[in-house]
Protein backbone atom coordinates (compact mmCIF):
# COMPACT_ATOMS: atom_id res chain seq x y z
CA UNK A 1 0.00 0.00 0.00
CA UNK A 2 1.31 3.50 -0.88
CA UNK A 3 2.19 5.82 2.03
CA UNK A 4 -0.26 8.56 2.87
CA UNK A 5 0.44 12.19 1.95
CA UNK A 6 0.33 14.28 5.12
CA UNK A 7 -1.31 17.71 5.50
CA UNK A 8 -2.34 19.92 8.42
CA UNK A 9 -5.93 20.06 7.17
CA UNK A 10 -8.02 18.37 4.49
CA UNK A 11 -11.16 20.00 3.10
CA UNK A 12 -13.63 17.83 1.16
CA UNK A 13 -15.67 19.63 -1.53
CA UNK A 14 -14.57 22.52 -3.73
CA UNK A 15 -17.89 24.37 -3.76
CA UNK A 16 -18.04 27.90 -2.40
CA UNK A 17 -17.85 26.85 1.26
CA UNK A 18 -14.97 24.39 0.87
CA UNK A 19 -12.99 26.75 -1.36
CA UNK A 20 -13.26 29.65 1.10
CA UNK A 21 -12.45 27.40 4.08
CA UNK A 22 -9.35 26.09 2.34
CA UNK A 23 -8.35 29.66 1.44
CA UNK A 24 -8.72 30.79 5.08
CA UNK A 25 -6.68 27.82 6.34
CA UNK A 26 -3.81 28.45 3.93
CA UNK A 27 -3.89 32.14 4.83
CA UNK A 28 -3.29 30.99 8.42
CA UNK A 29 -0.20 29.14 7.14
CA UNK A 30 -1.72 25.66 7.37
CA UNK A 31 -0.69 23.04 4.84
CA UNK A 32 -4.07 22.35 3.26
CA UNK A 33 -5.47 19.90 0.72
CA UNK A 34 -8.77 20.61 -1.06
CA UNK A 35 -10.36 17.47 -2.54
CA UNK A 36 -13.06 17.51 -5.23
CA UNK A 37 -14.79 14.52 -6.85
CA UNK A 38 -15.47 16.18 -10.22
CA UNK A 39 -13.21 17.92 -12.74
CA UNK A 40 -13.07 21.63 -11.87
CA UNK A 41 -14.92 23.77 -12.75
CA UNK A 42 -18.13 21.71 -12.71
CA UNK A 43 -21.87 22.33 -12.79
CA UNK A 44 -23.18 19.44 -10.72
CA UNK A 45 -23.37 20.92 -7.21
CA UNK A 46 -24.84 24.13 -5.78
CA UNK A 47 -22.18 26.78 -6.42
CA UNK A 48 -22.01 27.03 -10.22
CA UNK A 49 -23.67 29.64 -12.42
CA UNK A 50 -23.06 33.20 -13.51
CA UNK A 51 -24.65 34.99 -10.58
CA UNK A 52 -25.94 34.78 -7.02
CA UNK A 53 -27.80 37.38 -5.03
CA UNK A 54 -26.03 39.16 -2.18
CA UNK A 55 -28.06 41.13 0.35
CA UNK A 56 -28.19 42.31 3.91
CA UNK A 57 -32.00 42.15 3.98
CA UNK A 58 -32.98 39.16 6.09
CA UNK A 59 -35.79 38.48 8.50
CA UNK A 60 -33.30 37.18 11.08
CA UNK A 61 -30.90 39.57 12.68
CA UNK A 62 -27.95 37.13 12.86
CA UNK A 63 -27.77 36.78 9.06
CA UNK A 64 -27.82 40.56 8.53
CA UNK A 65 -25.11 40.90 11.16
CA UNK A 66 -22.91 38.27 9.46
CA UNK A 67 -23.37 39.94 6.09
CA UNK A 68 -21.86 43.20 7.39
CA UNK A 69 -18.52 41.37 7.48
CA UNK A 70 -19.47 39.33 4.41
CA UNK A 71 -19.43 42.46 2.23
CA UNK A 72 -16.03 43.48 3.62
CA UNK A 73 -14.54 40.05 2.93
CA UNK A 74 -15.90 39.98 -0.64
CA UNK A 75 -14.39 43.43 -1.24
CA UNK A 76 -11.10 42.30 0.27
CA UNK A 77 -10.97 39.32 -2.11
CA UNK A 78 -11.73 41.64 -5.06
CA UNK A 79 -8.76 43.81 -4.02
CA UNK A 80 -6.41 40.88 -3.41
CA UNK A 81 -7.17 39.27 -6.78
CA UNK A 82 -7.80 42.48 -8.75
CA UNK A 83 -11.06 41.02 -10.09
CA UNK A 84 -14.60 42.45 -9.95
CA UNK A 85 -16.93 40.04 -8.17
CA UNK A 86 -19.88 42.22 -7.13
CA UNK A 87 -22.33 44.49 -8.90
CA UNK A 88 -24.79 46.58 -6.93
CA UNK A 89 -28.39 46.42 -8.17
CA UNK A 90 -30.43 46.90 -5.00
CA UNK A 91 -32.98 44.37 -3.77
CA UNK A 92 -36.72 45.01 -3.94
CA UNK A 93 -38.49 43.31 -1.03
CA UNK A 94 -42.29 43.05 -1.40
CA UNK A 95 -44.98 41.36 0.65
CA UNK A 96 -48.23 41.89 2.57
CA UNK A 97 -47.47 45.11 4.43
CA UNK A 98 -48.67 43.90 7.83
CA UNK A 99 -47.40 40.33 7.60
CA UNK A 100 -44.86 39.06 10.15
CA UNK A 101 -42.28 38.25 7.51
CA UNK A 102 -42.37 41.65 5.73
CA UNK A 103 -42.25 43.50 9.05
CA UNK A 104 -39.30 41.36 10.20
CA UNK A 105 -37.31 42.25 7.06
CA UNK A 106 -38.05 45.92 7.60
CA UNK A 107 -37.19 45.97 11.30
CA UNK A 108 -33.94 44.00 10.80
CA UNK A 109 -32.80 46.56 8.23
CA UNK A 110 -33.81 49.46 10.50
CA UNK A 111 -32.19 47.93 13.60
CA UNK A 112 -28.89 47.42 11.77
CA UNK A 113 -29.05 50.85 10.09
CA UNK A 114 -28.77 49.30 6.61
CA UNK A 115 -29.42 51.89 3.86
CA UNK A 116 -32.90 51.30 2.46
CA UNK A 117 -35.71 53.11 0.69
CA UNK A 118 -39.34 52.46 1.61
CA UNK A 119 -41.58 52.80 -1.45
CA UNK A 120 -45.23 53.84 -1.45
CA UNK A 121 -47.95 53.05 -4.02
CA UNK A 122 -47.52 56.66 -5.25
CA UNK A 123 -43.78 56.59 -5.93
CA UNK A 124 -43.30 52.84 -6.61
CA UNK A 125 -43.35 53.03 -10.41
CA UNK A 126 -40.99 55.99 -10.51
CA UNK A 127 -38.37 53.70 -8.93
CA UNK A 128 -39.44 50.32 -10.36
CA UNK A 129 -41.14 50.62 -13.75
CA UNK A 130 -42.74 47.50 -15.31
CA UNK A 131 -43.65 45.91 -11.95
CA UNK A 132 -47.06 46.16 -10.28
CA UNK A 133 -47.27 46.62 -6.53
CA UNK A 134 -50.29 44.60 -5.33
CA UNK A 135 -52.92 46.24 -3.14
CA UNK A 136 -51.94 45.87 0.51
CA UNK A 137 -48.32 45.02 -0.27
CA UNK A 138 -45.42 46.92 1.19
CA UNK A 139 -42.20 47.50 -0.77
CA UNK A 140 -38.71 48.48 0.26
CA UNK A 141 -35.31 48.44 -1.39
CA UNK A 142 -32.14 47.19 0.33
CA UNK A 143 -29.80 49.48 -1.57
CA UNK A 144 -26.68 47.53 -0.55
CA UNK A 145 -27.79 44.38 -2.41
CA UNK A 146 -26.64 43.14 -5.77
CA UNK A 147 -25.21 40.19 -7.62
CA UNK A 148 -22.02 38.20 -7.11
CA UNK A 149 -20.35 36.75 -10.18
CA UNK A 150 -20.48 33.19 -8.85
CA UNK A 151 -18.32 31.18 -11.27
CA UNK A 152 -15.71 33.92 -11.26
CA UNK A 153 -15.75 34.11 -7.44
CA UNK A 154 -15.17 30.39 -7.10
CA UNK A 155 -12.29 30.49 -9.55
CA UNK A 156 -10.74 33.43 -7.70
CA UNK A 157 -11.06 31.80 -4.25
CA UNK A 158 -9.47 28.58 -5.55
CA UNK A 159 -6.82 30.59 -7.41
CA UNK A 160 -5.83 32.56 -4.31
CA UNK A 161 -5.71 29.31 -2.29
CA UNK A 162 -3.41 27.76 -4.87
CA UNK A 163 -1.25 30.90 -5.06
CA UNK A 164 -0.62 30.72 -1.30
CA UNK A 165 0.58 27.11 -1.57
CA UNK A 166 -2.69 25.19 -1.13
CA UNK A 167 -3.07 21.92 -3.01
CA UNK A 168 -6.24 21.20 -5.03
CA UNK A 169 -6.89 17.69 -6.27
CA UNK A 170 -9.97 17.30 -8.45
CA UNK A 171 -11.37 14.09 -9.96
CA UNK A 172 -10.75 12.48 -6.58
CA UNK A 173 -13.87 11.16 -4.94
CA UNK A 174 -13.50 10.57 -1.21
CA UNK A 175 -14.46 6.95 -0.57
CA UNK A 176 -13.56 6.51 3.09
CA UNK A 177 -12.81 8.52 6.24
CA UNK A 178 -11.17 7.03 9.31
CA UNK A 179 -11.54 9.35 12.31
CA UNK A 180 -8.92 9.61 15.05
CA UNK A 181 -6.31 12.02 16.36
CA UNK A 182 -5.02 11.80 12.83
CA UNK A 183 -7.81 11.56 10.26
CA UNK A 184 -7.21 9.27 7.28
CA UNK A 185 -9.04 10.08 4.05
CA UNK A 186 -9.06 7.67 1.11
CA UNK A 187 -10.01 8.73 -2.38
CA UNK A 188 -10.33 7.06 -5.74
CA UNK A 189 -6.64 7.98 -6.28
CA UNK A 190 -4.80 8.13 -2.97
CA UNK A 191 -4.65 8.19 0.82
CA UNK A 192 -4.18 11.37 2.86
CA UNK A 193 -3.75 12.14 6.53
CA UNK A 194 -4.27 15.30 8.54
CA UNK A 195 -4.86 16.48 12.07
CA UNK A 196 -8.15 18.05 11.04
CA UNK A 197 -10.86 17.51 8.43
CA UNK A 198 -13.54 19.84 7.09
CA UNK A 199 -16.53 18.31 5.27
CA UNK A 200 -18.29 20.75 2.93
CA UNK A 201 -19.78 18.22 0.55
CA UNK A 202 -23.08 19.94 -0.29
CA UNK A 203 -25.80 17.54 -1.39
CA UNK A 204 -23.43 14.60 -0.79
CA UNK A 205 -22.86 15.45 2.89
CA UNK A 206 -24.73 12.48 4.34
CA UNK A 207 -22.89 10.04 2.09
CA UNK A 208 -19.62 11.21 3.62
CA UNK A 209 -20.94 11.65 7.14
CA UNK A 210 -21.98 7.96 7.12
CA UNK A 211 -18.24 7.15 7.39
CA UNK A 212 -18.17 9.04 10.72
CA UNK A 213 -21.51 7.71 12.04
CA UNK A 214 -23.53 10.88 11.56
CA UNK A 215 -26.73 11.55 9.66
CA UNK A 216 -28.25 15.02 9.27
CA UNK A 217 -31.87 15.73 8.28
CA UNK A 218 -31.04 17.26 4.90
CA UNK A 219 -33.54 17.32 2.08
CA UNK A 220 -31.85 17.49 -1.31
CA UNK A 221 -33.87 19.46 -3.85
CA UNK A 222 -33.36 20.15 -7.51
CA UNK A 223 -34.47 23.75 -7.73
CA UNK A 224 -36.95 25.17 -10.25
CA UNK A 225 -35.76 28.23 -12.09
CA UNK A 226 -38.35 30.31 -13.97
CA UNK A 227 -37.63 32.85 -16.62
CA UNK A 228 -39.85 35.91 -16.69
CA UNK A 229 -40.66 36.94 -20.22
CA UNK A 230 -40.28 40.67 -20.55
CA UNK A 231 -43.23 42.52 -22.08
CA UNK A 232 -40.88 45.37 -22.91
CA UNK A 233 -37.59 43.97 -24.30
CA UNK A 234 -34.64 44.35 -21.89
CA UNK A 235 -36.79 45.97 -19.21
CA UNK A 236 -35.63 43.44 -16.60
CA UNK A 237 -31.99 43.89 -17.58
CA UNK A 238 -29.41 44.96 -15.03
CA UNK A 239 -28.38 47.83 -17.33
CA UNK A 240 -31.94 49.20 -17.05
CA UNK A 241 -31.44 49.31 -13.28
CA UNK A 242 -33.82 46.39 -12.68
CA UNK A 243 -33.07 45.17 -9.13
CA UNK A 244 -32.93 41.75 -7.53
CA UNK A 245 -36.29 41.02 -5.91
CA UNK A 246 -37.69 38.88 -3.14
CA UNK A 247 -41.28 38.22 -2.09
CA UNK A 248 -41.64 37.76 1.65
CA UNK A 249 -43.71 34.84 2.83
CA UNK A 250 -47.32 35.89 3.42
CA UNK A 251 -49.84 33.67 5.20
CA UNK A 252 -51.11 32.32 1.88
CA UNK A 253 -47.77 32.06 -0.01
CA UNK A 254 -45.89 28.80 0.61
CA UNK A 255 -43.28 29.25 -2.11
CA UNK A 256 -40.05 31.12 -1.65
CA UNK A 257 -39.84 33.44 -4.65
CA UNK A 258 -36.89 35.60 -5.53
CA UNK A 259 -35.10 36.62 -8.68
CA UNK A 260 -32.10 38.30 -10.23
CA UNK A 261 -31.83 40.58 -13.24
CA UNK A 262 -30.10 37.79 -15.11
CA UNK A 263 -30.61 34.35 -16.68
CA UNK A 264 -29.38 30.77 -16.14
CA UNK A 265 -28.58 27.93 -13.75
CA UNK A 266 -30.46 25.00 -12.35
CA UNK A 267 -28.76 23.37 -9.37
CA UNK A 268 -28.96 21.34 -6.18
CA UNK A 269 -30.03 22.67 -2.81
CA UNK A 270 -29.86 20.86 0.49
CA UNK A 271 -32.42 22.16 2.91
CA UNK A 272 -32.39 21.74 6.66
CA UNK A 273 -35.81 21.51 8.36
CA UNK A 274 -35.51 25.09 9.70
CA UNK A 275 -33.62 26.42 6.64
CA UNK A 276 -30.67 27.49 8.80
CA UNK A 277 -27.12 26.32 8.09
CA UNK A 278 -25.07 23.59 9.74
CA UNK A 279 -21.70 24.98 10.90
CA UNK A 280 -20.36 22.85 13.73
CA UNK A 281 -17.90 20.26 14.98
CA UNK A 282 -18.76 16.59 14.74
CA UNK A 283 -20.43 15.67 18.09
CA UNK A 284 -17.95 12.81 18.74
CA UNK A 285 -14.82 13.81 16.78
CA UNK A 286 -13.71 17.35 17.63
CA UNK A 287 -11.21 17.51 14.77
CA UNK A 288 -13.91 16.95 12.13
CA UNK A 289 -15.78 20.12 11.22
CA UNK A 290 -18.94 20.23 9.09
CA UNK A 291 -20.45 22.96 6.91
CA UNK A 292 -23.62 22.01 5.05
CA UNK A 293 -27.38 22.63 4.73
CA UNK A 294 -26.97 26.10 3.24
CA UNK A 295 -30.64 25.87 2.21
CA UNK A 296 -30.47 27.89 -0.98
CA UNK A 297 -29.00 31.07 0.50
CA UNK A 298 -25.42 30.25 1.41
CA UNK A 299 -23.34 31.64 -1.45
CA UNK A 300 -23.17 35.24 -0.23
CA UNK A 301 -21.90 33.97 3.15
CA UNK A 302 -19.01 32.00 1.56
CA UNK A 303 -16.16 34.13 2.94
CA UNK A 304 -17.72 34.32 6.43
CA UNK A 305 -18.49 30.58 6.51
CA UNK A 306 -14.94 29.87 5.34
CA UNK A 307 -13.61 31.98 8.21
CA UNK A 308 -15.90 30.26 10.75
CA UNK A 309 -15.04 26.71 9.59
CA UNK A 310 -11.37 27.66 9.73
CA UNK A 311 -11.75 29.01 13.28
CA UNK A 312 -13.57 25.85 14.39
CA UNK A 313 -10.84 23.69 12.81
CA UNK A 314 -8.11 25.62 14.60
CA UNK A 315 -9.94 25.26 17.94
CA UNK A 316 -10.55 29.02 18.19
CA UNK A 317 -13.62 30.77 19.56
CA UNK A 318 -15.75 31.45 16.47
CA UNK A 319 -16.36 35.09 15.49
CA UNK A 320 -20.16 34.66 15.65
CA UNK A 321 -22.64 32.91 17.90
CA UNK A 322 -23.09 29.59 16.13
CA UNK A 323 -26.04 28.35 18.20
CA UNK A 324 -28.54 28.71 15.28
CA UNK A 325 -26.25 26.42 13.23
CA UNK A 326 -25.53 23.66 15.76
CA UNK A 327 -26.15 20.00 14.97
CA UNK A 328 -27.71 19.43 18.40
CA UNK A 329 -30.77 21.51 17.43
CA UNK A 330 -32.03 18.61 15.32
CA UNK A 331 -32.31 16.45 18.46
CA UNK A 332 -34.44 19.21 19.98
CA UNK A 333 -36.58 19.40 16.86
CA UNK A 334 -37.03 15.62 16.86
CA UNK A 335 -38.11 15.47 20.50
CA UNK A 336 -40.59 18.31 20.01
CA UNK A 337 -42.33 16.50 17.12
C1 LIG B 1 -30.24 27.62 -8.33
C2 LIG B 1 -29.67 28.14 -7.05
C3 LIG B 1 -29.78 29.49 -6.75
C4 LIG B 1 -29.21 30.01 -5.59
N5 LIG B 1 -29.27 31.36 -5.36
C6 LIG B 1 -28.57 31.89 -4.32
C7 LIG B 1 -28.48 33.29 -4.17
O8 LIG B 1 -29.02 34.07 -4.97
N9 LIG B 1 -27.73 33.78 -3.13
C10 LIG B 1 -27.09 32.95 -2.23
O11 LIG B 1 -26.45 33.46 -1.32
N12 LIG B 1 -27.17 31.61 -2.36
C13 LIG B 1 -27.88 31.06 -3.37
N14 LIG B 1 -27.94 29.71 -3.54
C15 LIG B 1 -27.31 28.84 -2.54
C16 LIG B 1 -25.82 28.68 -2.72
O17 LIG B 1 -25.47 28.62 -4.08
C18 LIG B 1 -25.40 27.42 -1.94
O19 LIG B 1 -25.81 27.59 -0.59
C20 LIG B 1 -23.91 27.18 -1.99
O21 LIG B 1 -23.45 27.16 -3.32
C22 LIG B 1 -23.59 25.86 -1.30
O23 LIG B 1 -22.22 25.59 -1.48
P24 LIG B 1 -21.54 24.26 -0.92
O25 LIG B 1 -20.08 24.50 -1.03
O26 LIG B 1 -22.13 23.92 0.41
O27 LIG B 1 -22.05 23.08 -1.89
P28 LIG B 1 -21.55 22.64 -3.39
O29 LIG B 1 -21.33 23.83 -4.23
O30 LIG B 1 -22.51 21.62 -3.89
O31 LIG B 1 -20.13 21.99 -3.10
C32 LIG B 1 -19.99 20.69 -2.57
C33 LIG B 1 -18.83 20.05 -3.30
O34 LIG B 1 -18.47 18.83 -2.66
C35 LIG B 1 -18.06 17.92 -3.65
N36 LIG B 1 -18.13 16.56 -3.11
C37 LIG B 1 -19.23 15.93 -2.64
N38 LIG B 1 -18.93 14.65 -2.28
C39 LIG B 1 -17.60 14.49 -2.51
C40 LIG B 1 -16.73 13.37 -2.35
N41 LIG B 1 -17.14 12.17 -1.88
N42 LIG B 1 -15.44 13.54 -2.68
C43 LIG B 1 -14.97 14.74 -3.17
N44 LIG B 1 -15.78 15.82 -3.37
C45 LIG B 1 -17.09 15.68 -3.04
C46 LIG B 1 -19.09 18.16 -4.76
O47 LIG B 1 -18.71 17.63 -5.99
C48 LIG B 1 -19.19 19.68 -4.74
O49 LIG B 1 -18.26 20.29 -5.62
C50 LIG B 1 -28.54 29.15 -4.68
C51 LIG B 1 -28.45 27.78 -4.97
C52 LIG B 1 -29.00 27.27 -6.14
C53 LIG B 1 -28.86 25.80 -6.43
pLDDT, tens digit, 9 for 90 and up, residues 100-133: 999 999 999 999 999 999 999 999 999 888 788 9
Say how far apart CA 283 and CA 316 lie, in whole Å: 17
CATH label, 91-143+226-263, candidates 1.10.8.870, 3.30.9.10, 3.40.50.12160, 3.20.190.10:
3.30.9.10
Mean pLDDT to the nearest integer, 65-73: 98
Pairing of strands 268-271, 219-222: antiparallel
DSSP-derived secondary structure for 61-110: HHHHHHHHHHHHHHHHHHHHHT---EEE--EEEEEETTSHHHHHHHHHHH
Full-model pTM: 0.93
Query: Cα–Cα distances in Å, from 61 out to 64, 256, 258?
Result: 5, 19, 20
Say how far apart CA 43 and CA 82 lie, in whole Å: 25
- Closest ligand 1 atom to residue 295 Cα is 19
Nearest CA to ligand 1 atom 21: 47
- Angle CA 189–18–301, to nearest 5: 165
Nearest CA to ligand 1 atom 46: 13
Given CATH 3.50.50.60, say whether it is the number of domain 5-90+148-222+267-335.
yes
Report the percentage of the chain scoring pLDDT > 90: 80
Say how far apart CA 235 and CA 320 lie, in whole Å: 40
pLDDT, tens digit, 9 for 90 and up, residues 50-63: 999 999 999 999 99
Q: Do 5-90+148-222+267-335 and 91-143+226-263 fold alike per CATH? A: no
Q: What is the CA radius of gyration of the chain?
A: 21
Q: Does residue 272 line the site of ligand 1, with CB under 6 A?
A: no
Segments making up each domain of the chain, as ranges: 5-90+148-222+267-335, 91-143+226-263
pLDDT, tens digit, 9 for 90 and up, residues 157-175: 999 999 999 999 999 999 9
pLDDT score for 128: 87
pLDDT, tens digit, 9 for 90 and up, residues 242-268: 788 888 876 555 566 777 765 555 578
Amino acid sequence: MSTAEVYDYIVIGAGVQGSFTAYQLVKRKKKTLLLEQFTLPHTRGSSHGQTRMIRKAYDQNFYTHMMEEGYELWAQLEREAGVKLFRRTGLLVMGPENSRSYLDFKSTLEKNKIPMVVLTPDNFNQHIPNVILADGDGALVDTTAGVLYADRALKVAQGQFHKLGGVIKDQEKVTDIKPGLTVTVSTSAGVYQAKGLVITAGAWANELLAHVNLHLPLEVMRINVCYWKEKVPDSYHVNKRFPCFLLTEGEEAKDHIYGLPSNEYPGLMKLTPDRHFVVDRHPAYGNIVIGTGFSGHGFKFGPVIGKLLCELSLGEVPSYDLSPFQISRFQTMKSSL
